[in-house]
Amino acid sequence: MSKHSAIADIRPLNTTFPPKADESIFGYLARLAEANDSRVGEVADRADIKLKKSNFTDADVKRIAAISRQSFEKLRPLAPEVNSEASFVLGCNLDNLGVLIKTRRVCPKCIKGEHGYYKAVWDWKFVQHCQEHKLRLLTQCLDCGKHLDWRTKSIRHCTCGTDLTKVKVEKAEAADLHAIKAMLAIAFSDKKAIPPLLKGFDTYWAWLALCDFACLSLKTRKQIWPGATDPGLKATYGGDLKKHFTPVEQLPPRENARRMSLGAVALALVPEKLEQALVSELRHLDAIGWPKGTMDLYWYRRIKWDDEHDNTPLVKLVDRAKEKAGVKLKMLPVTFGGGRE
Ligand SMILES: [Zn+2]
Ligand SMILES: [Zn+2]
């Protein structure tokens, strides 16, 4: 016998309405709660689901459909479904590392007014900014200092009563928006928007590559990409960066080579002219005997190659591309562990 309530026993809420197509499932429950003068926890209880859930089974979604009088089909894409390898949300296949479900993050402008709502992508780890308003998402109340959570009666307020739509938040740096845009393009398979050097990467590899880039020292990153800032990318990939990614300086030499190659993938974020030149350099290498395949395989080979050739081919390749593109960026004369910077 199931320990959950039977669908037939579930009472629908008095006031119901459809979710937005890109709405966070938690934000939707919060909107329902607000419309029914209730707390989101009570609404979740009624649907017999846990608010901190990160995996919604079909049965969970059916119970949400029952309280909200909506179709299962409409709600299913909004609620993350997790297996051992990935999470599926909004039709995207996200690696589990790339998803964060438990906190409440908000763009003050997006939740303003009667049509305001929480976007599903704000629950994703790599999305730290609102692409539309170019603002850093708010994670913490500036008045009471608490991290925002869903124990709220109003989607526009902190539990302490602070009106979140009136809070002034930091503007996003162009570099951060660029990185998130690349990640979203990969997640949504928006082929035209994926930077050429990240083609063929899934969210996991792209995320790793960008994290690697975030592990580079600020000095190095500035050489590669003058617009980069330290707090920006570090914050983008979460405070637990160190747990997953050893700083590049502390890696053994073989690992260094791997990291350096991956860090170079972040060159996808350099000016377009140079990007094109780099891609053509890579294609040239491809033409002279590298196996055909996706860019994925390509970089995998690069990594191996670097590993066996003490990093210098990559540096030369970048130098050639710079020359061809006529770009005078000071960049990448670096080897890690070897001390040349
Ligand atoms: Zn916004
Ligand atoms: Zn507060």
Ligand 1 centroid to 174 CA: how many Å?
A: 15
Ligand 2 centroid to 326 CA: how many Å?
A: 51
- Domain for residue 63, yes or no? yes
Q: pLDDT at residue 6 above 60?
A: yes
Q: What is the mean pLDDT of the chain?
A: 70
Mean pLDDT on 160-173? 88
Q: Are residues 225 and 258 in the same domain?
A: yes
4 — pLDDT class (breaks 50, 70, 90): confident
Enclosing domain of residue 231: 174-325
Taking the CA of 146 as reference, the closest ligand is 2
Last residue within a domain, chosen from 124, 139, 166: 166
Mean pLDDT on 142-147? 90
- Domain for residue 88, yes or no? yes
Q: Are residues 140 and 205 in the same domain?
A: no
Six-digit token string for 101: 């479900």
Q: Are residues 99 and 182 in the same domain?
A: no
173 — pLDDT class (breaks 50, 70, 90): low
Give 82-124 pLDDT, tens digit per residue: 887 778 889 888 876 556 557 789 999 999 988 899 999 998 8
Mean pLDDT on 56-63? 94
- Domain for residue 336, yes or no? no
Q: Are residues 150 and 179 in the same domain?
A: no
Q: Are residues 203 and 272 in the same domain?
A: yes
Mean pLDDT on 20-30? 94
Residue 200 main-chain phi, psi, to 5 deg = 90, -10
Q: Are residues 162 and 179 in the same domain?
A: no
Q: What is the DSSP annotation of 118-174?
A: -BGGGGBTT--EETTTTEEPB-B-TTT-PBP-S--S-TTB-TT--BGGG---PBPPH
- Domain for residue 339, yes or no? no
Taking the CA of 132 as reference, the closest ligand is 1
Higher-scoring residue by pLDDT: 320, 221: 320
Residue with token string 């792209």: 206
Ligand 1 centroid to 136 CA: how many Å?
A: 9
pLDDT at 259: 41
Six-digit token string for 89: 């949300």
Q: Are residues 271 and 197 in the same domain?
A: yes
pLDDT at 15: 97
Ligand 2 centroid to 164 CA: how many Å?
A: 9
Q: Are residues 242 and 317 in the same domain?
A: yes
Neighbours of ion ligand 1 (CB under 5 A): 107, 109-110, 130, 132-133
The amino acid at 138: L
**What is the 8-class DSSP label of residue 82?**
E
pLDDT at 322: 67
Q: Are residues 138 and 190 in the same domain?
A: no
Give 67-78 pLDDT, tens digit per residue: 999 999 999 999
Q: Are residues 22 and 159 in the same domain?
A: yes
Ligand 2 centroid to 34 CA: how many Å?
A: 18
Q: pLDDT at residue 3 above 50?
A: yes
- Domain for residue 337, yes or no? no
Q: Are residues 107 and 78 in the same domain?
A: yes
The amino acid at 175: A
- Domain for residue 1, yes or no? no
Ligand 1 centroid to 320 CA: how many Å?
A: 41
pTM of the model: 0.70
Last residue within a domain, chosen from 105, 135, 166: 166
SS3 content of the chain, % helix, strand, coil (to 5): 50, 5, 45
Burial group, residue 106, by CB count within 10 angstroms (0-12, 13-18, 19+): buried
55 — pLDDT class (breaks 50, 70, 90): confident
Residue 86 parent element (H or E): strand 86-89
Give 319-333 pLDDT, tens digit per residue: 676 677 776 544 332
Last residue within a domain, chosen from 166, 187, 221: 166
Question: Looking at the 3D structure of the chain, how many domains does it have?
Answer: 2
Neighbours of ion ligand 2 (CB under 5 A): 141, 143-144, 158, 160, 162
252 — pLDDT class (breaks 50, 70, 90): very low
16 — pLDDT class (breaks 50, 70, 90): very high
Taking the CA of 159 as reference, the closest ligand is 2
- Domain for residue 49, yes or no? yes
Q: Are residues 256 and 232 in the same domain?
A: yes
Ligand 1 centroid to 327 CA: how many Å?
A: 35
